[in-house]
Amino acid sequence: MTSDKDELGGIALWRRIADAIRLDIIGGKLTNGDRLPTEAILSERFSANRHTVRRALAVLADEGVVAAEQGRGTFVRSARRLSYPIGKRTRFSEGLAGQAGTLGTQLLGHRIENANATIAKALKLKTGDKVVRIDGVSSADGRPLSRATTWLPYRRFPDFAERITQLQRFTAVFASYDIADYARASTRISARHADVEETKLLGLAPGAILLVSEAVDIDATGEPVSYALSRFPAERLELVV
């Protein structure tokens, strides 16, 4: 069992071992197909008992980062992280084209809300003004890549929720409002641990790190059309500017 002395800053030793191995893979010290050091060597390197090392390896195996092969050892099975471009005209599907097979967005729900200060400022509304809120999860080849919440001015898009339910794609809904083109005005990027709901919806191990982007899109006249809060699992993709 994990004991108190294994804990550093609230991060259990097995998690730190998993992190260190992930870093070696991301940093290129270990690449796809490489055999990991033996449990004995990892135990010594991290001053950990075998049980703790096994727990770290089991987590990495669950994530698909490594795979144990009977009698041969544990091997790196790193699907290279996807690169998600952040540009003036980035669309989810175009941005990941060529990096994944099937791309799709699942709508989780929608509702009318009153804008808080952050949303109001982003959309040039007053705090308390009505906004349409759309929740969804986007996936590539069945693996969740983004949990996004998007807010739009209700006054301009009163039936956005109905249209997105029917048309599925934001681009198509904006086109249905005669907005043929819209562009990214600004993106803020931060990072934090996933909360319980995000962990579940994105299929992550608890304690996973999210890249969080807050983005405002504007129409051709410069008017804000949407404010989106997107959360990406850092272990699955990186953002490219």
Residue 224 has φ and ψ, to the nearest 5°, of -65, 130
With binding defined as CB under 8 A, does residue 26 bind its own copies?
yes
Structure tokens given for 22 = 């992930």
Q: What angle do CA 109, 157, 215 make, to 5 degrees?
A: 70
Residue from the set 102, 190, 221, 222 that interacts with its own copies by CB under 8 A:
190
Nearer to its own copies, 157 or 224 (CB): 224
Count of residues near its own copies by CB under 8 A: 48
Residue from the set 32, 118, 127, 166 that interacts with its own copies by CB under 8 A:
118
Residues 57-76 that bind its own copies (CB under 8 A): 59
Residue from the set 42, 120, 164, 210 that interacts with its own copies by CB under 8 A:
210
With binding defined as CB under 8 A, does residue 216 bind its own copies?
no
Stretch (H or E) spanning 66: strand 66-69
With binding defined as CB under 8 A, does residue 187 bind its own copies?
yes
- Cite the DSSP H helix spans in the chain: 13-26, 39-45, 50-63, 92-95, 117-122, 160-167, 170-176, 196-201
With binding defined as CB under 8 A, does residue 79 bind its own copies?
no
With binding defined as CB under 8 A, does residue 98 bind its own copies?
no
Q: How far apart are CA 43 and CA 50, in angstroms?
A: 6
With binding defined as CB under 8 A, does residue 23 bind its own copies?
yes
DSSP line for 179-196: ---EEEEEEEEEEEE--H
Nearer to its own copies, 2 or 106 (CB): 2
The b-or-e profile of 45-62 (16+ CB within 10 A means b, else e) is ebebeeebbbbbbebbee
Residue from the set 106, 116, 127, 166 that interacts with its own copies by CB under 8 A:
116
Structure tokens given for 71 = 């009698």
Residue from the set 192, 200, 220, 223 that interacts with its own copies by CB under 8 A:
192
Q: How far apart are CA 229 and CA 131, in angstroms?
A: 14
Interacting residue ranges for its own copies, rule: CB under 8 A: 1-2, 4, 7-12, 14-16, 18-20, 22-23, 26, 28, 59, 81, 83, 86, 116-118, 186-193, 195, 199, 205-211, 234, 238-241
